[in-house]
Structure 1
Amino acid sequence: MCNSKQDIIRKDVQKLESELAPAFESIFSEIEIMESDVLNKHGERRQAITEFGRKCHKVVDIVMTKYLSDSKEIERRDLDSIKSLKAKIQDQKSSVKSEIQEKHSILESKDAFKLASYTSKNNEYRDVPSWFELKIPPFHPNELSELALFQLIGEIPETEKTYIRGHVLEEPEIVGTVSTGNHETNRVNCIPNTNEFYVCGVSEIIKRMNTEGELLEMITTKSKTSPSNLTVNREGDLIYTDVDDKNIYIVKNGQIRCLIRLFKWTPRGICSTSSDDLLVALLLKGDTKIVRYSDSTVTQEIQYKDTGEPLYHDPASMEENKNGDIVVSNWATNTVVVVNNEGKFKFEYKGNHQNNLEDTFTPDGVATDSMCHILIADRNNHIVHVIDRNGQILVYIDSCNIQYPYDLSTDSKDMLFVAEFKTDLVKVIKYLK
């Protein structure tokens, strides 16, 4: 009785130490990271508000300078028009004064001839020229109240709080098993917002199936060889890499079209991102890099750590995490490398040696879920590692009789699809509450 209880306690302790305690440590670590990030983001926002205030003052100064300049220009035009009017009146005034002097001269001379020939010109000066009066209105700007300024600039948005649903189940369960009819099934990729997925083995055939096991479509690759990797874009179109002819193809409305032609580099892993870019692992004579394509144009290349050390060694599979991180499994080094969306190295996962795995950690397919968990197919140990976004192990999915898991994919409901290499099966596993 005591021995039985002791065995139960030992198993509970092992479970607590290997899975539950690390899970809480991981969550606590993420909360601390979130706290630091929140403080930084609030600081950045205050700095942005201060900078906006400086810009507002600058704009006000520019506007006031413009108002003063416009006022000065109106003043100049007013004075020019007054000057022109004065000159016109001055001419008339001088003419009248000359006429008066001339008439006085005639009267004083008592010259009979001038008196006899005199003709009045007064009528010429009766038409006084028109002139104008200028009224300068005062400056009455629109009232600028605090409320009006708030409405113009806008409000500071409240923090968006998103509750993270679920947690890793202690006992994941198989909710579906699909026989694909493939030989050595090695790739699977879910189609967003459906119960469908693409799957292939070591052949030139890519199948579109659903979780009911129905075969919906069969696609033969252009080169008649097995594709290296699969992905699906936001529209649900299949995209695959072909190591034989070094091309990347898209299948749209049943038609296969070459999307990217690489010539020298060989494409391996591929994934579609949240922005509908493509991330592709490329190999050339031992060199490996991850390249981001946007509409077939290279926009980013990721190859080295800051130390100059290569990040990748014969990459097998890749996926973009929901936080923008890029997750890549390396065959040659049996590691999973994670970089951020700028290509900066974050961490390298080498398997959790505390679990006493039977065989060497052999990562193949990788997937992510809505909680930013990273799921890794450990082929030779017949399990799936679930780690958090910072590389801490959370749990192993080892209770679903998984056999040689080669590739993984998660659907829109966070169901895990596992492609088993030595069977023709794709197992659908529920692992989150």
Structure 2
Amino acid sequence: MENSCGLLMNRPVQFLLVFKKHSLFKFKSFSEKIKEVSFSDKISRGDVIGLLLDIKVPGSKKRQIGNEQLFKLSETAVLRKIFPVKGISRGYHISCLSSNQLCVSDNNSLVFINFKCEILHQLSDIESGRQAHAATKIGDLIYIDKFYNIKKVYSTDNTVSTLLKTSEPWRPWCLHSSLLTEDLLLLMRKRNEDVCDYTKAKVTRMTSTGDHIQTIQYQSKGKKLYSRPVCITENSNGDIVVSDYDYGVVVTDKGGQYRFSYTGPPSGSRLLPQGICTDSLSNILVSDRHTFQIHLIDKDGNYCFLLQTSKQGVETP
């Protein structure tokens, strides 16, 4: 077994299969996790590390190694590659469909490109100027059209189907497709009669086929969670993370219970959050329209640092 592991260190799928097949590996917690793994080409080295970190040796007094000790966070972004995108005037939002395909949108268009910057497909009915699309776990694309309907683009043949039609006065503002549950998280805003004034907001969880599961709108005692929400994502622990112009970064758990809000670093500088995502260590990254920098906070809302991008030519992330 030792020789097999040595040969498979750079091949994570085969590495895990070795552990799954060997009866010598008796750690119950790890074995249960291995059985839950769906082995595919999408398993990354990070997945392997995450599983190995969950091993708890009975009776061991050694301190467990945490993710923080395996990865070093850098306060300066590293430029990997530049992708010139034709067909759009400026990039508002991006979704990664696969290891070789991206979707980028502006006010008028949504373009599908490969990493050679070739346009593979293009749509013109997308809702403008915000997080109006998201990739699913299997590489399809979900997006909001100009009539605020939710549509799906199938990766197999680029056909489009309608998942959900808008029910006024609530409109989907942005969305996220869960990689944990494959549910669809919609950030909804309510229009005030015939005026373009959105006075209420909520998060709606739906199945991948458009059936309603959950609504998240209030804290305890009826206090509203969201005021002017902008973007939404999900953390690896199931937390739902929303950027809000008035309330900062608002985080609830999977059940909708309020966890915390982040309104800026300890210095107290004003935060005007827009695009938001999480990384492999469950940190939250949010772009700040006020300072044009990216705030990095941990999964519990503690400020870590501002991620510098201007040296790489990204002035307005």
TM-score by length of 1: 0.52
2:92 alignment counterpart: 186
Partners of 1:225 and 1:363 in 2: CA distance? 20
1:295-314 equivalences under 5 Å are 295-314=209-228
Aligned residues: 242
1:234 aligns with 2:137: yes
**What letter corresponds to residue 221 of structure 2 in structure 1?**
T
Instruction: Identify which of 206, 229, 236 aligns with 1:293.
Output: 206
Q: Partner of 2:80: helix, strand, or coil? A: strand
Secondary structure at the counterpart of residue 218 of structure 2: coil
Instruction: Assess, with a 3 A threshold, how the Cα gap between structure 1 residues 185 and 158 changes in structure 2: closer, same or farther.
Output: closer
Q: Report the 3-state secondary structure (helix = DSSP H, G, I; strand = E; otherwise coil) of the residue aligned with 2:255.
A: coil
Q: Quote the Cα distance in structure 1 between the aligned partners of 2:96 and 2:127.
A: 22
The aligned counterpart of 2:28 is: 157
The aligned counterpart of 2:7 is none
Query: Runs in 1 of length 4+ with deviation above 6 angstroms?
Result: none
1:334–1:363 contact (8 Å) kept in structure 2: no
Which structure has the highest helix share of the two?
A: 1
Q: 2:73 matched to 1:168?
A: yes
Q: Distance in 1 between matches of 2:290 and 2:160?
A: 35
Amino acid at match of 2:78: E
**Relative to structure 1, is the Cα distance of residues 282 and 237 closer, same or farther in structure 2, using a 3 angstrom cutoff?**
same
User: Is 2:94 the partner of 1:177?
Assistant: no
- Structure 1 partner of 2:46: none
- Cα deviation, 1:256-289, whole Å, max 9, x if unaligned, reads 2111112211101200112111000111132211
Contact 2:247 2:261 (C-alpha < 8 Å) held by counterparts: no
Contact 1:347 1:390 (C-alpha < 8 Å) held by counterparts: yes
What SS does the aligned partner of 2:237 have? coil
Decide which of 174, 184, 197 is 2:102's aligned counterpart. 197
Does residue 219 (structure 1) correspond to residue 123 (structure 2)? The answer is yes
Aligned match for 1:386, one of 288, 296, 312: 296
Q: CA deviation at 1:227?
A: 6.8
After TM superposition, the structure 1 = structure 2 runs for residues 368-387 of structure 1, keeping only pairs within 5 Å, are: 368-387=278-297
**Residues 12-411 of structure 1 correspond to what in structure 2 (within 5 A)?**
157-158=28-29, 161-162=52-53, 164=67, 165-181=70-86, 182-192=88-98, 194-203=99-108, 205-221=109-125, 226=128, 228=130, 229-242=132-145, 244-252=146-154, 253-264=157-168, 265-273=170-178, 274-284=180-190, 285=192, 286-294=199-207, 295-331=209-245, 333=246, 335-354=248-267, 360-399=270-309, 400-405=312-317
Aligned letter for 2:252?
Answer: V
Identical amino acids, percent of aligned pairs = 26
Distance in structure 1 (CA, Å) of the matches to 2:247 and 2:200: 17
Distance 1:255 1:289 in 2: 30
Equivalent AA in structure 2 for residue 312 of structure 1: Y
- Aligned partner of residue 177 in structure 1, secondary structure: coil
Per the alignment, do residues 156 and 173 of structure 1 end up closer, same or farther by CA in structure 2, a change over 3 Å counting? Answer: closer
Q: Which amino acid aligns with 1:369?
A: D
The letter for the 1-side match of 2:147 is D
1:26 equivalent in structure 2 = none
TM superposition shift of 1:156 = 8.5
Superposition deviation, residue 335 in structure 1: 0.6
Q: Is the 8 A contact 1:246 1:263 kept in 2?
A: no
Higher RCO structure (Cα 8 Å, ≥6 apart): 1
Do the aligned partners of residues 158 and 249 (structure 1) sit closer, same or farther apart at CA in structure 2, a change above 3 Å counting? closer
Q: Contact conserved, 1:334 with 1:362, CA < 8 A, in 2? A: no
Which string of whole-angstrom CA distances, capped at 9 and with x for unpartnered residues, describes residues 103-131 of structure 1?
xxxxxxxxxxxxxxxxxxxxxxxxxxxxx
Distance 1:388 1:314, change over 3 A: same
- Alpha-carbon contact 1:361-1:378 (below 8 Å) kept: yes
Q: CA RMSD in A?
A: 2.1
Q: Is the 8 A contact 1:177 1:211 kept in 2?
A: no
Q: Deviations over 1:345-391 (max 9, x none)?
A: 1110111152x85xx42211101112101110112312111110001
**Aligned residue for 2:35?**
none
